[in-house]
Amino acid sequence: MWGRRGARGYGMRLCRVTSKFPINQPTRLTFDIPTALIFWGCPAIPVHLQNTPNFRIQLEEFRRELAPMLQ
């Protein structure tokens, strides 16, 4: 899913919800989160991330971590 932050700086409106996938099935899907949103409200984005428009997180990392908790 993804959403947009409210104009007041809090709250969020969901814009899209993706389909679900089985926890026991490996995936190549990723979350791409805009770097500027991760560091929203911070005085500066770390130098090594300033030219990185999106922070990519492999869903496979989440699946591996969550799988033992869901069995």
DSSP 2-71: EEEE-TTSS-EEEEE-PPP--TTS----EEEEEHHHHTTTSS---GGGTT-SEEEEEHHHHHHHHGGGG-
Across the range 7-14, mean pLDDT stands at 76
Query: If pLDDT is split at 50, 70 and 90, which confidence band does 1 have?
Result: low
* Phi-psi group of 11: left, alpha or beta (phi > 0 → left; psi -120 to 50 → alpha; rest → beta): left
Specify burial of residue 36 (Cβ count, 10 A radius: 0-12, 13-18, 19+): middle
Across the range 3-10, mean pLDDT stands at 75
pTM above 0.75, yes or no: no
